[in-house]
Chains A and B, each alone.
Chain A
């Protein structure tokens, strides 16, 4: 079974995310990057499926050159192959532009399953996976917190407001996984060494026959008009517990009529 995992490499958790006033985009250059934990869970899901059913995993991401570190991480976990969509022409793509680039790269591969994290941990839009599936013409099984494959049939538990639904489809299909689906493995030294030898394939927008009307800022349907500070909530009272803080909270709750 050939599985393509689409995931993001994002500023690592030590970085305070900022928006650059000029471009109105998130600052991504010159900050340390890591494989998005949500993407790592998607890679883990794919690795477990190929361990069970045979085949291999290809990791696909779009990002600036700094994101290579996260691609190496996916390879060290056990992905056999990686594709990096790297080109200034992709900068400023909105969700649909990103989906078009990913779909164009996937179309050039053979695959049975595409697995994406439901949403990245830095922008949370959560709609790119279904856009990719729609562009590829394959069914999108979303918000999966459990995945199994039998023969040509894939079945997921799809998170719902009240529990989950059991949903099934024929391959090829796309799955988006929730962050809690599984704990990503920690790469072993052997994997890290092997990953260094793997050549990361790269595509530019031109390689994928995507023009400025398809990807990048010029193609974006969504335009950011302004970015500013949020309305501040007036800070209240902060007290040091002197041994009576529990009573003080009770007093406050009583003043609100809660007790």
Chain B
């Protein structure tokens, strides 16, 4: 019997998240993949989960899961785990994923491994690979508890593939216990982000402290527009309030994997590298020849961003025939 592996499916902005589909693909490669989908979801959600390898989807579209934070989902997933006892439950390292895995771990007195980049399952024993201390180490870990084993997996750890078929739907009921209604969601506010979203961007131009001010980000936006990319930033720059948190790339921000990453005035602290070092090609411009970013750059330029970037913009315009 292949091992039963569950994925907690998430919906953001009316679509199943890319990480969910990455996890379902991986789960189907390792064992029998099934998904749990709670709350409102797009009409093609079950089809997408099935196409990526889920054989079954536990489903409730009860509004309770949208109106009340975390606790209804903990109750529902806990009840399903007790009944079906999956070998492994996978969550994205997202807001919802972390809260749910944490709650279930306390509930079942079981372990949860965070920040997982890859995993294997052998004879019921899980072996997870984790980039530790911002990626300066690679460690492997296992869970030795009885009962459920929970993994929180980093986005973009696996390629999503439509190698599956179609999933059957098993309806589940929402918990009737009033205790789960203790955190009410009053409103959901979308904060508009300038330009394309970082996740999924084909190319990214990112700025660090070397840009010296918020104004210098105009230059990065211009460059990003020219190469069809999005603009990101380091934690230092976000903490200095030059740009919003939604632009932060790194351990505590977003994980990205673009075709080209152009790092401008970024020294390359391990926390930042953790969020971008799997980019296919990396270009870095920094005044400090000792900057760690040069150790991973495919093309590194020791120079002044205020000289190099405007020249790059001018050259691209020239080649594109743009005035």
Partner of A163, one of B101, B137, B191, B296: B191
Cβ contact within 8 Å between A160 and B182: no
Partner of B188, one of A26, A131, A155, A165: A165
**Which among A99, A145, A157, A238 has the greatest number of chain B C-beta atoms within 10 A?**
A238
B216 interface residue (CB < 8 Å to A): no
A180-B238, A238-B294, A249-B301 known; A222 vs B111 contact (CB < 8 Å): yes
Q: Which residue of B lies closest to A242 (CB)?
A: B303
What distance in Å separates the Cβ of A99 from its nearest Cβ neighbour in chain B? 6
Cβ contact within 8 Å between B184 and A164: no
A189 interface residue (CB < 8 Å to B): no
**Which among A166, A167, A245, A252 has the greatest number of chain B C-beta atoms within 10 A?**
A245
A227 to B183, CA, bound (A): 40
Partner of A245, one of B69, B113, B308: B308
Partner of B302, one of A140, A143, A238: A238
Cβ contact within 8 Å between A140 and B103: yes
A204 interface residue (CB < 8 Å to B): no
A81 to B292, CA, bound (A): 41
A168 to B277, CA, bound (A): 38
With an 8 Å Cβ cutoff, the count of chain A residues facing the other chain is 81
Cβ contact within 8 Å between B191 and A164: yes
Cβ contact within 8 Å between B114 and A95: yes
**Which among B137, B259, B298, B310 has the greatest number of chain A C-beta atoms within 10 A?**
B137
A126 interface residue (CB < 8 Å to B): yes
B142 interface residue (CB < 8 Å to A): yes
Q: SS class of chain A's interface: helix, strand, loop or mixed?
A: mixed
A220 to B141, CA, bound (A): 11
Cβ contact within 8 Å between B136 and A96: no
Partner of B312, one of A162, A239, A246: A246
Find chain A residues with CB under 8 A from B300 CB.
236-239
Find chain B residues with CB under 8 A from A122 CB.
133
A258 to B259, CA, bound (A): 9
Q: SS class of chain B's interface: helix, strand, loop or mixed?
A: mixed
Cβ contact within 8 Å between B183 and A141: yes
A238 to B289, CA, bound (A): 9
A221-B143, A245-B301, A246-B312 known; A230 vs B102 contact (CB < 8 Å): no
Q: How would residues 8 to 21 of chain A score, 1 for a CB under 8 Å from any chain B CB and 0 otherwise?
A: 00000000011100
Partner of A223, one of B144, B262, B315: B144
A216 to B113, CA, bound (A): 16
Find chain B residues with CB under 8 A from A24 CB.
139
Q: How would residues 86 to 115 of chain B score, 1 for a CB under 8 Å from any chain A CB and 0 otherwise?
A: 000000011100110111011101111111
Q: Which residue of B lies closest to A225 (CB)?
A: B140
B145 interface residue (CB < 8 Å to A): yes
B320 interface residue (CB < 8 Å to A): yes
Interface residues of B in 110-146 (CB under 8 A from A): 110-115, 127, 131-145
Cβ contact within 8 Å between A158 and B95: yes
**Which among A124, A164, A178, A226 has the greatest number of chain B C-beta atoms within 10 A?**
A124
A130 interface residue (CB < 8 Å to B): yes
